[in-house]
Amino acid sequence: MPSTGQGASAHDWWRTAAIYEVYVRSFADGNGDGVGDLAGVRARLPYLAELGIDAIWFAPWYPSPMADAGYDVADYRAIEPLFGSLAEAEKLITEAHDLGIRIIIDVVPNHGSDQQPWFARALAAPPGSAERSRYHFRPGRGPGGELPPNDWTSMFGGPAWTRTPSAEPTAGPSAGERADGAPGEWYLHLFTPGQPDFNWAHPDVRAEFASVLRFWFDRGVDGLRIDSAALLAKDPGLADLGATPTPGSSAPVGTAPASAVAPAGAAGEPDGPHPFIDRDEVHEIYQEWRRIADSYRGDRVLIGEVWLPDAQRLARYLLPDELHSVFNFDFLCCAWDAAALRGVIDTTLDAHDRVGATPTWVLSNHDVVRHVTRYGRADTAFSMTDRQIGEPSDLALGTRRARAAALLTFSLPGGVYLYQGDELGLPEVEDLPEELLQDPMWERSGHTNRGRDGCRVPLPWSGDAAPFGYGPEGSSPWLPQPAEWKNLTAEAQSGDPGSMLSLYRRALRLRRAEPGLGTAGLAWLPSPDGVLCFRRGEGPAAVTVIVNLSAEPVDLPPHGEILLSSGPVSGSLLPPDTAAWLR
């Protein structure tokens, strides 16, 4: 395995890795059916190698009815036929490894699909049966059981419960929805009805996922991104949420009001544990997973999608016997504001330091508004509960800031995550026709939240018109690409030294090559208000990073050379919304 990224050893590769998220449906379409696939990814592996990443994280690639774009998994040991086959995935893993790129796959343990054999058997079995106990089935409240068992709401809006039929139920394409309202038990789904939550107190569930982990590790997969990782354990009594205190800055994916998802006092705290977020029992699960990962040479990694407002609670997932790393959503959600960013950076470093874990930094993913668009708005922060769709955005400003943000992100100590299209500077597509929207958020929010399709539009690779090389000439991508993207194709940007793609390539290369950027920790240097300035490394290898988030040009600190800047630098003045790496 040639690449380890920066100064990390092959064993610790993840500590400094640049990990690129591939959202398969929208990356590249090899067969022309409008949906991205593994053939498309395989053809673009050289592009990813040239970009300078260390690993690919694949959003779910399993067979799925796509109630939630693949996060409703029908078979954890196979590949969605629209994407390809298991044999093709195995080839892809080998080809990526040959190029020095590691492979991380998404595992979705909180919930399955209503099309999974286990769920079909549960529906066909009577209340109280062993088959139903792998999920959370309960009788309803009210005289006829016509009310949901408790007051939990789905992350995508609407109730977290769907009622099943009482007699001779059958599992069809939308068994959960069709059954709703019929006089039977209810089942829990924190997301769509097509995603029934597993009962993690059941030994079958634990054994099944232990086996799934081994299945993929045996095939050479280097790591797992664990979906909705803080939600698996539920209060055995499924207690009502009731009134909940004010949440912190992060919330799980969805449209549910913050009060419905906020920890009501984190587990073990005076208010008692939340009935489904961040319960203590969840840690036993990851301790078991860590033992499995460590039984494979010790270089397989577990990465948690953990949205928690409290950095110290988050750090508990990073103890040496649990996950290797978690996404830093506080950094992603933070406004383009020097004081706020510095606060998040300090809190992150401190919380990770205490448990000996490596921080990570991320600006975008398949769930959030693309940061070029966010940073061009009046309010530059991101909130899952208010996506600000349609709020005006100055995309030239957003792009300038996104360039500076890339240099900031890539110069912080730890690992980084990129989302496909970040390197092309793609904006959010905010004007997709309503009839094409596929994200369940749109329907379940009663058409008040357009959801996440705008960051999932297929990538523009080449040419002057759609499908921009995403698929063969004449094919129609599953979501339409804006005509303006002809200026943002990988081809158009490749030869342009001033493009976002060129900046990403240079920054990722330097990040690997500069020993100062591979060290732990950072030292803040004095700087005016609105400016972030810090040093990485010591002595001749030290790199000084400066980011000007103020409205005025600022003096560069003393330096010998500018290694890289996100925009033009005139003399010794760094313009607003510009970053530079100095020696």
Please report, as ranges, the residues that interact with ligand GLC according to CB under 6 A.
Answer: 68, 71, 108, 191, 227-228, 253, 305, 366-367
Q: Which is nearer to ligand GLC, 57 or 216 (CB)?
A: 57
> Smallest distance, Å, CB 228 to ligand GLC?
5
- CB of 558 closer than 8 Å to CB of 572: no
- CB of 231 closer than 8 Å to CB of 276: yes
| Strands 301-304 and 325-326, sheet pairing | parallel
Report the residue closest to ligand GLC, judged by CB.
Answer: 71
Residue 481 and residue 496: Cα distance in Å, rounded? Answer: 22
Q: Which is nearer to ligand GLC, 305 or 514 (CB)?
A: 305
**E strand or H helix that includes residue 137:** strand 137-138
Q: Which is nearer to ligand GLC, 323 or 556 (CB)?
A: 323
> Smallest distance, Å, CB 227 to ligand GLC?
5
Residue 179 and residue 163: Cα distance in Å, rounded? Answer: 6
> Smallest distance, Å, CB 231 to ligand GLC?
9
> Smallest distance, Å, CB 106 to ligand GLC?
8
Measuring CA to CA, which residue among 426, 435, 436 is closest to residue 366?
426
> Smallest distance, Å, CB 360 to ligand GLC?
15
Q: Which is nearer to ligand GLC, 324 or 444 (CB)?
A: 444
> Smallest distance, Å, CB 523 to ligand GLC?
35
Measuring CA to CA, which residue among 373, 371, 375, 354 is closest to residue 419?
371
End-to-end, the C-alpha distance of the chain in Å comes to: 31
Q: Which segments within 310-426 are labelled E, that is strand?
A: 325-326, 360-362, 415-419
> Smallest distance, Å, CB 174 to ligand GLC?
17
- For 293, counting Cβ atoms within 10 Å of its Cβ (0-12 exposed, 13-18 middle, 19+ buried), the class is buried
- CB of 463 closer than 8 Å to CB of 474: no
> Smallest distance, Å, CB 121 to ligand GLC?
22
Q: Which is nearer to ligand GLC, 275 or 304 (CB)?
A: 304
Q: Which is nearer to ligand GLC, 313 or 456 (CB)?
A: 456
Q: Which is nearer to ligand GLC, 68 or 114 (CB)?
A: 68
Q: Which is nearer to ligand GLC, 385 or 502 (CB)?
A: 385
Q: Which residues contact 106 (CB under 8 A, 6 or more apart)?
A: 57, 58, 59, 60, 61, 71, 224, 225, 227
Measuring CA to CA, which residue among 211, 130, 499, 537 is closest to residue 507?
499
- CB of 154 closer than 8 Å to CB of 161: no
> Smallest distance, Å, CB 191 to ligand GLC?
5
Q: Which is nearer to ligand GLC, 192 or 548 (CB)?
A: 192
* Separation of CA 17 from chain center: 16
